[in-house]
Chain A
Amino acid sequence: MDLTANPSLAMEQFLDAEGEVIKRLPAWVSNQDTLIDYYRSMVIARQADQKAVALQRTGKMGTYPSCLGQEAISTVCAALLEKEDVLIPYYRDLPGLMRRGIALSDVMLYWGGDERGSASPAWGQDLPNCVPIATQAGHAAGIATAIKIRHEAGDPLQVALCALGDGATSKGDFGEALNLAGAWQLPVVYIINNNQWAISVPRKIQSGAPTLAQKGLAAGLPSYQVDGNDVIALHEVVSAAIDRARQGKGATVIEAVSYRLCDHTTADDASRYRASEELKEAWQQEPIKRLRNFLHHRGLWDEHKEQALKDEADRIIEQAVATYLNTPLPAIEDLFDYHYANMPAQLEQQKNEALAREQMRQENMKSAGGHLNG
C-alpha cells in the first residue's frame, strides 16, 4: 500500500486577504462582540509588541522576539482557554499572555532580564516562556498527563494548550510528545505557529512534508492546517480542538499558517536572508488589516473607534512601561533564595559572601564619595 498518498488536509479559511468572505461563515460570527474583542486584543498587543521593540532599540530592554504578524494565533488560543486550563506558551506569545491576564509590565520585566516577570500569581499554572525550542512540547504532555490522572470521571477535563514555532516541529521533542499524546489520549492541543522562518531557514527546507500539520497524523492525531491570519478560521479549529480535549477525546495538532513580519529577534537582521518582495507580499496577508476590513464592511468599525482604541492602547502601554522601568533591582538574596525550597549550607554560605561583598562595595562607595566631597 502506498502510504505517501496525499493526506486530505485542506487549509481552513473564511476570509481572504482583504477580509472578504470566501466561505459560509459559522453562526457565532453573528455575535459581533467576539470578533471586536479579538480585534481589540490584537491591536493592543501589536502596539505593545512594537513598544517592546522600541524599548530594546533605545537600550531599555534586552533582546526581544516580536510577534508581528502572528497576533491572531496567540490571541484566539488564549481567549478560548478557560482560566483553569494551562497555557504552555512559546516566546512569541505576548498577545496570549496579555489575554491570560498577565501584566504587560511583567512580560517586559521578563525580557528586561528579571526573573520576577514570570512570578506573578496572575500566571496561575501557566508555564513561563520557553526558550529551548520544542522542550515545552514534553511539558504540555506531562501537564495533560497530570490532568488526566487527577480527573474525576464525568467532569470536563482541563486542557493544556502548547504553542510552538515551525522550527520546533523539526525537533525530536515535538515528535516524542505527539507520539505520547496520541498513545495516551491526552487533553492537549499543539498549535504550530508556522511563521515560515526558523531564524534564517525557510519553511520549505525545514521539512519535506507538504504540511507541518501532517506530522500529527503519524501519531494518530487529528491534525489541521488553518489560516493563522484569519481569526474566524482560527476560532473554529482551535475551539473544536479544545472541546475535543475537554471531552476526553484526546489531542489535536493545528498548524496555523502565518508569517513573521519582523526579524527573528531584535538581535537579528532578516534582510540578510529574506527577499523584500516576499515580506511585502506577506504584509498583504496580515491578520489585523484583514479583520479590520471585515468589520468595516459590516459597519462594525470606523475610524473614530480605531483612534479611540489606539489611544486606549497607548495608555495601557504607557502605564506598563512606567511600571516596568520603575521596578527596582531585585535584592541580592533573590539570586540564591529560589533554587531550593531547603537551601543547602554551601549556597547559604555563598549567599552570605555575596551579601558581605555588596555591603563592602557600598561602604567603599560611601567612603570614596565622602573623600571626593571632602
Chain B
Amino acid sequence: MDNKLTMVEAVNLALDHAMDNDPDVVLLGEDIGVNGGVFRATQGLRDKYGLKRVMDTPLAETLIAGISVGMAAQGMKPVAEIQFMGFIFPAMEQLICHAARMRNRTRGRLACPLVLRAPFGGGIHAPEHHSESTEALFAHIPGLRVVIPSSPVRAYGLLRAAINEPDPVIFLEPKRIYRASKQIIDVASDPLPLDTCFTLKVGQDVTLVSWGASVRETMEAADILEGHGIFAEVIDVATIKPLDMETILTSVRKTGRCVIVHEACRSFGVGAEIAAGLMERAFDDLKAPVERVTGFDTTMPYYRMEDHYLPQADDIVRASIKSLARH
C-alpha cells in the first residue's frame, strides 16, 4: 500500500486510528456519513464504524457543538466537523460558554474532551464565507486549545494528540493545502505535542514564524532568501494556543529579527500576541522591529481578489529584507 498521504487523507487516517483505539471516540457533523464530508475527511469511516459512531447531524451548528458538550460531559470523545469555518459562529456560544468552562465551573467534576474540526482559510476560489481565518477568536478564550497543522505528518500527529487531550480542542485544517503535498505517515509514531512549535528550517539571519497554509509561502520565501545568501529559520507554530513562546524566543535571541506571517487580519491577531511576547522577553536581543506579513483588516475578498489579500512569498522576502536592513 502506498502510505504517502495528502493532508486530508492523513486527517482521515488519524480519525480512523483514534476510533479504532477508543470506542468513546465518535464523529458527528453535516454530510460526514455516506458522503464522507465535503472534503472527504471522513470517507469510509461510516462503513467501518457504523451509524452510531459516525453521525450525520441535522444542519444545525449550534446543535453540533451543544450535543458535543453533552456527550463530552458523559465522558465520550466527540470529534465534530463544522463544514467550513465560516459557519462556526452559531457554535461559538457553546464553545465559549460551555465547552471551555465545563472543567473549571465544576472544579473538575465534569470535563469537555471534544475536538471541533473545521477547514479554514483562503486560496481555493470558494464562495463567500468559505475562506476566512478567524483562529484568533478562539485563541482568546481561556480553556480552549487551538491547533493548526501545516503538513500531512503534522495533521496526523496533532489530530491524534487533539483527540487524546482531555480538554476541548479547536482543530483548524488549512484546506488550501489539503491536497498540496504527500508524505509518508508513520502510524507507529507517537502523537505530536500540543504545546510545541516545529522548526522546519534552521538559519541564523532572520526568524520567520507562520502556521497553516502560509507555511508554504514562508518556506518559499526562505528558499528565495537563501538564494541571496540569507539564511532564515522557519518556525511552524502549529499550536496557536497554548503558544510555545520558548521556541520562538530561542530562535529570535539567535537571529535578532522576526517576521510573522499569517493569513488572518493583522489587528488583534495571533501575530500581535507573538510580537508582544518578543517585546516582553527578547527586547534586548531584537536588532529590528518585529515585522508582520498578514491579511489586511478587510473582509476576506471574494475569490477573484483573494491572491491580493493572502500573504505571498515576495511579501515575506521584502519584510525580511526590511528587517535585515536595520543594524
- By a beta-carbon cutoff of 8 Å, the part of chain A in contact with chain B is 86, 88, 115-116, 118-121, 123, 125, 127-128, 131-132, 135, 137-150, 160, 172-173, 176-177, 179-180, 183, 334, 338-342, 344-347
In the assembly, what is the distance between CA of A176 and CA of B93, in Å? Answer: 14
Q: Chain B's nearest CB lies how many Å from the CB of A60?
A: 22
Partner of B69, one of A118, A119, A139, A148: A139
Q: Chain A's nearest CB lies how many Å from the CB of B282?
A: 16
Contact across chains for B66 and A177 when beta carbons are under 8 A apart: yes
Partner of A119, one of B90, B106, B241, B245: B106
Residue in chain B with minimal CB distance to A347:
B242
Contact across chains for B109 and A123 when beta carbons are under 8 A apart: yes
In the assembly, what is the distance between CA of A346 and CA of B244, in Å? Answer: 9
Q: Chain B's nearest CB lies how many Å from the CB of A52?
A: 19
Contact across chains for A132 and B57 when beta carbons are under 8 A apart: no
Task: Offer 23 A-B interface pairs, CB within 8 angstroms, sorted by A.
Answer: A86-B74, A115-B107, A118-B106, A119-B108, A120-B109, A123-B106, A135-B93, A137-B66, A138-B65, A138-B67, A146-B75, A172-B90, A176-B62, A176-B66, A179-B60, A338-B107, A339-B104, A340-B143, A340-B167, A341-B103, A341-B167, A342-B167, A346-B245
Map CB proximity to A onto B71-94 as digits: 1 under 8 Å, 0 otherwise. Answer: 111111010000000000010011
B195 located at the interface, meaning its Cβ lies under 8 Å from any Cβ of chain A in the complex: yes
Partner of B104, one of A115, A120, A142, A147: A115
Contact across chains for A341 and B111 when beta carbons are under 8 A apart: yes
In the assembly, what is the distance between CA of A252 and CA of B157, in Å? Answer: 43
Task: Name the 9 nearest CB pairs between A and B, nearest first.
Answer: A138-B66, A142-B70, A344-B242, A142-B67, A119-B107, A146-B74, A341-B166, A139-B70, A176-B63
Q: Using known A-B contacts A118-B107, A119-B106, A344-B195, determine if residue A177 contacts B71 with beta carbons closer than 8 Å.
A: no
In the assembly, what is the distance between CA of A125 and CA of B110, in Å? Answer: 8
Residue in chain A with minimal CB distance to B114:
A142
Residues of B within 8 A of A132 (CB): 93, 97-98
In the assembly, what is the distance between CA of A340 and CA of B73, in Å? Answer: 15
Residues of B within 8 A of A127 (CB): 73, 110
Contact across chains for A146 and B71 when beta carbons are under 8 A apart: yes
Residues of A within 8 A of B215 (CB): none
Contact across chains for B143 and A339 when beta carbons are under 8 A apart: yes
Contact across chains for A119 and B68 when beta carbons are under 8 A apart: no
Q: Using known A-B contacts A115-B104, A339-B104, determine if residue A147 contacts B74 with beta carbons closer than 8 Å.
A: yes
Q: Using known A-B contacts A138-B62, A146-B71, A344-B242, determine if residue A180 contacts B57 with beta carbons closer than 8 Å.
A: yes
Q: Chain A's nearest CB lies how many Å from the CB of B290?
A: 19
Q: Using known A-B contacts A138-B63, A339-B103, determine if residue A179 contacts B58 with beta carbons closer than 8 Å.
A: yes
Mark out the residues of chain B between 122 and 152 whose CB falls within 8 Å of any chain A CB in the assembled complex: 142-143, 145
In the assembly, what is the distance between CA of A118 and CA of B55, in Å? Answer: 31
Contact across chains for B70 and A140 when beta carbons are under 8 A apart: yes
Residue in chain B with minimal CB distance to A130:
B98
Contact across chains for B167 and A338 when beta carbons are under 8 A apart: no
Residue in chain B with minimal CB distance to A158:
B74
Interface centre among A140, A180, A340 (most CB of B within 10 A): A340
Contact across chains for A180 and B103 when beta carbons are under 8 A apart: no
Q: Chain B's nearest CB lies how many Å from the CB of A146?
A: 4
Residue in chain A with minimal CB distance to B53:
A149
In the assembly, what is the distance between CA of A132 and CA of B111, in Å? Answer: 18
Contact across chains for B143 and A115 when beta carbons are under 8 A apart: no
Partner of A142, one of B66, B111, B143, B195: B66
Residues of B within 8 A of A143 (CB): 70-71, 73-74
Q: Chain A's nearest CB lies how many Å from the CB of B255?
A: 22
B105 located at the interface, meaning its Cβ lies under 8 Å from any Cβ of chain A in the complex: yes
B52 located at the interface, meaning its Cβ lies under 8 Å from any Cβ of chain A in the complex: yes
- Please name 15 further chain A to chain B contacts, defined as beta carbons within 8 Å, in addition to the given A121-B109, A143-B71, A145-B67, sorted by A numbering: A123-B106, A132-B98, A135-B66, A135-B94, A135-B97, A141-B66, A142-B70, A144-B70, A149-B52, A176-B60, A176-B63, A179-B58, A179-B60, A340-B145, A340-B167
B115 located at the interface, meaning its Cβ lies under 8 Å from any Cβ of chain A in the complex: no
Q: Chain B's nearest CB lies how many Å from the CB of A144?
A: 8
Contact across chains for B107 and A142 when beta carbons are under 8 A apart: no
Residues of A within 8 A of B104 (CB): 115, 338-339
In the assembly, what is the distance between CA of A173 and CA of B94, in Å? Answer: 10
B26 located at the interface, meaning its Cβ lies under 8 Å from any Cβ of chain A in the complex: yes
Residues of A within 8 A of B94 (CB): 135, 138
Partner of B243, one of A120, A147, A346: A346
Partner of B26, one of A119, A149, A339: A149
Residues of A within 8 A of B66 (CB): 135, 137-139, 141-142, 173, 176-177
Q: Using known A-B contacts A115-B107, A149-B26, A180-B57, determine if residue A142 contacts B71 with beta carbons closer than 8 Å.
A: yes
Interface centre among A125, A138, A148 (most CB of B within 10 A): A138
Contact across chains for A141 and B242 when beta carbons are under 8 A apart: no
Partner of B103, one of A172, A340, A345, A346: A340
Contact across chains for A345 and B195 when beta carbons are under 8 A apart: yes
Residue in chain A with minimal CB distance to B55:
A145
